[in-house]
Amino acid sequence: MAERMGFFTDTSICIGCKACEVACKEWNQLPDDGFVFEATSYDNTGTLGASTWRHVAFIEQSRPVAAGGDDGVDRWLMSSDVCKHCTHAACLDVCPTGALFRTEFDTVVVQSDVCNGCGYCVPACPYGVIDRREDDGRAWKCTMCYDRQLGGLEPACAKACPTDSIQFGPLDELRARAEERVTRLRADGNTEARLYGESPDDGVGGAGAFFLLLDEPEVYGLPPDPVVTTRDLPAMWRWAGAAALSAVGAVALAFLGTGERR
């Protein structure tokens, strides 16, 4: 197995240019999203989906104390979201066909020639990443440019990002670099700077694609404390087993306790 590769998305230097969204669409030949105007911000893809594998979020924040500011808009947060390539990936766990698999780069990829569109991975992902393309019937998501990686290239989004907000590389190196960066930002007075998804102790065992955020994760549309639900699978089966036995017992009781024979 090759080294585990990952993305470190440093949102503090994202300028919201969407070059990553475009590069991803170009390289992976993804269909358009219907050219919807969200009318809430400069965001026009809204969310990650079957045909949007990088999504740039725009958050306009105003602070009540801002005096003489322009319309009260105090700062913009911009962040390019992507599949987290979880260490313990719920989508991969629940996929019944084996279409989702873990690559030699420790990323999570769908084999589109195997996926039968059962849709189980869609509500299983704790980040709402993977989705089914309705006209095509199969599930799609970021592959971390598996094909480019096989050819020794970095993923298209990282290549296109003009500020290096999206960084690609061995996960260990990225984690060390991110640690330095967040320490530096905090020292500079950005006390809200924090890493998201970098810890192997979190509910998904650490994300292969992690982030530096400037506010709470939910502000960016990210779950604050995601958990891979297959963690509870043994307990779930135990409860189901108990219910199955109860049903058997109740049926037996119904037959043995009913007076009329035949």
Sequence ranges of the binding site: 14, 17, 20, 24, 83, 86, 91, 95, 115, 118, 121, 125, 142, 145, 157, 161
- Site for another protein, residues 104 to 133, rule: CB under 8 A: 114-120, 122-133
Taking the mean position of all CA atoms in its chain, how far away is CA 9?
A: 12
Give min distance, CB of 142 to another protein, in A.
14
Does the protein bind ligand SF4 through residue 127 (CB under 6 A)? Answer: yes
Residue 205 touches which of ligand SF4, another protein, none (Cβ within 5-8 Å per kind): none
215 scored as a contact of another protein (CB under 8 A): yes
Using DSSP, how many helices (H) and how many strands (E) does the chain show? 7, 10
Q: Which positions from 129 through 158 interact with another protein, judged by CB under 8 A?
A: 129-134, 136-139
The site partner of 85 among another protein, ligand SF4, none (C-beta below 5 to 8 Å per kind) is ligand SF4
DSSP annotation string for 228-242: -GGGGHHHHHHHHHH
Distance CA 204, CA 89 (A): 7
- Residue 194 contact partner, candidates another protein, ligand SF4, none, CB within 5 to 8 A by sort of partner: another protein
Three-state SS across 63-128? CCCCCCCCCCEEEEEEEEEECCCECCCHHHHHCCCCCEEECCCCCEEECCCCCCCCCCHHHHCCCC
Q: Taking the mean position of all CA atoms in its chain, how far away is CA 63? A: 29
Residue identified by tokens 């290549």 is 159
- By CB under 6 A, which span of 22-30, 54-62, 119-127, 171-179 interacts with ligand SF4? 119-127
If the CB atoms of residues 144 and 185 are measured against ligand SF4, the closer one turns out to be 144
Instruction: List the single partner that 244 binds among ligand SF4, another protein, none, CB under 5 to 8 Å by kind.
Output: another protein
- Contacts (Cβ under 8 Å, ≥6 apart) of 144: 5, 7, 83, 85, 105, 107, 109, 155, 208, 209
Backbone angles phi, psi at 12, to 5 degrees: -70, -20
Length of the chain: 262
Neighbours of 105 (CB within 10 A): 22
- The residue from 23, 56, 77, 91 that contacts ligand SF4 (CB under 6 A) is 91
129/160 Cα distance (integer angstroms) = 21
* Contact set for another protein, span 56-85 (CB under 8 A): 57, 59-65, 74-75
Q: What is the DSSP letter of 168?
A: E
Residues 171-210 that bind ligand SF4 (CB under 6 A): none
The answer to whether 15 contacts another protein (rule: CB under 8 A) is no
Q: Binding site for [4Fe-4S] cluster: what residues are annotated?
A: 14, 17, 20, 24, 83, 86, 91, 95, 115, 118, 121, 125, 142, 145, 157, 161
Q: Does the protein bind ligand SF4 through residue 130 (CB under 6 A)?
A: yes
Smallest gap, in angstroms, from Cβ of residue 208 to another protein?
18
Footprint on this chain of ligand SF4 (rule: CB under 6 A): 83-86, 89-91, 95, 97, 99-100, 108, 110, 115-121, 125, 127, 129-130, 139, 141
